[in-house]
Structure 1
């Protein structure tokens, strides 16, 4: 491989045909110029950015952010792809590095942002959250800066949305915010505190997440026998009334209705939580 462009001491661009390939490695480009050969033993990562806008953002970022922060972001991306056994969208190279660098500098200055969606992120994206925790430990090991657990949640969202065919960050954030609101609605209505580590909470979050996805994507819901609906409504009326409030909230936020069958499933989930918290 011959260098087409040196971006910094650790990153170069090479050309294969009409395609520009980004090659990374510690000290890979130190003392190198265009047309010089790359030492293959120094190559740590090779990737293609087909989106020209992302490529331009990445090259600009290399001039703005500390090389150490970019290197950390790339280590996290490589680890995430290995753990998830999936390729991440190319936009993650810019988004994750930018977020990570800002978080490190913010903590150095004594500022920490609370992640109010942390519990929801843990429940919905456990694999990505574990990667986020690994990343927090890596940052501490390499920089001495201890990022809070809240940042593991933010990093988990970046990783989740970067998975191929995943929803956009805005869509994921919107869904997660609605889920947070629904849990708060249950707690305020029933005057209970939902334990985020409980199986009941995990099941409810998973169910609500898939329900919202079906609503947004107009996917069909499973039918429920009318007699079953009537029985659940009568036997667990307190939880059923809470489920109605959740349905109204979803309609307000998404301008779409949950079907009556969902009221049955939500009632059963809510009843399980209400019973556990009051036992």
Structure 2
């Protein structure tokens, strides 16, 4: 395996059997140059990216970002794959590394990181959030930087996006923002403060999450018979009106059309939450 290009002391590009790969390992390129042989004992990770743009971005990250940022990001990714017992989308190597490096630099400069979606992230993506907490501890140990919980939430978002085999965190952000807006609307309309750990809250979040994902992926919704729909509209009038407002918000903000059956199901969840 010959070196085609040295990216930094710990990463090189090689060409093996006609396939270009990025090979990483501690000190793998120390005092090495083009056409030198890669020491197999030093190989820790090998990357093959089919997306040319992603491949180019990853090379740029390896060539420009601080090595300690790259190493901690890769450690978090490896830990996440072990906990989730599934490979993450390759884009995570670009997205998380870039995000984490930027966040670390901002914290060093005294900036405050805020995450308005933290409560929803903790409730929706529990495993990913726990991985983020592990990352927080590891970053503190390795770099003596104490990242806030708000940043832990952003790490969880990136991991969840990659777990779902998506390349853009925007899809995950849209779902989480939508749910946050719904919770805020329900609290306002019913003049209540929702308890994050209640069963009714968890059920509402889960339902909204999957409903929004169905809209994104253009999947069919469960039907509801007309008699049941009218009963819900009559018995839970206010909850149904709030569900209609939610539907209007979805159409205005995201361009999706919620079916009437979803108005009813969401109204039922809101009613249970309001009663609690």
Is TM more than 0.5 here? yes
Residues 164, 185 of structure 1: alpha-carbon distance in 2 compared, 3 angstrom cutoff: closer
**Counterparts of 1:172-251 in structure 2 under 5 Å?**
172-251=172-251
* Inter-partner Cα distance in structure 1 for 2:164 and 2:222: 28
Residue of structure 2 in register with 1:257 after alignment: 257
* Inter-partner Cα distance in structure 2 for 1:25 and 1:217: 39
Structure 1 runs (4+) greater than 6 angstroms displaced: none
* Inter-partner Cα distance in structure 2 for 1:8 and 1:74: 15
Deviation at 1:164, TM superposition (A): 5.7
TM (norm. structure 1) is 0.91
**Counterparts of 1:22-101 in structure 2 under 5 Å?**
22-101=22-101
Note if contact 1:14-1:21 (Cα within 8 Å) is conserved in structure 2.
yes
1:143-184 deviations in whole A, cap 9, x for unaligned?
010101111111112122223643732222222222211111
* Secondary structure at the counterpart of residue 175 of structure 2: helix
* Inter-partner Cα distance in structure 1 for 2:52 and 2:264: 49
Note if contact 1:14-1:23 (Cα within 8 Å) is conserved in structure 2.
yes
Residues 98, 247 of structure 1: alpha-carbon distance in 2 compared, 3 angstrom cutoff: same
Note if contact 1:200-1:273 (Cα within 8 Å) is conserved in structure 2.
yes
TM (norm. structure 2) is 0.92
RMSD: 1.8
* Secondary structure at the counterpart of residue 146 of structure 1: coil
Q: Which consecutive unaligned segments of at least 5 residues does structure 1 have?
A: none
* Secondary structure at the counterpart of residue 206 of structure 1: helix
State the aligned residue count: 276
**Counterparts of 1:78-157 in structure 2 under 5 Å?**
78-157=78-157
* Structure 1 stretch displaced more, 246-255 or 262-271: 246-255
Deviation at 1:273, TM superposition (A): 1.1
Residues 250, 53 of structure 1: alpha-carbon distance in 2 compared, 3 angstrom cutoff: closer
Q: Which consecutive unaligned segments of at least 5 residues does structure 2 have?
A: none
Note if contact 2:49-2:55 (Cα within 8 Å) is conserved in structure 1.
yes
Residues 169, 31 of structure 1: alpha-carbon distance in 2 compared, 3 angstrom cutoff: same
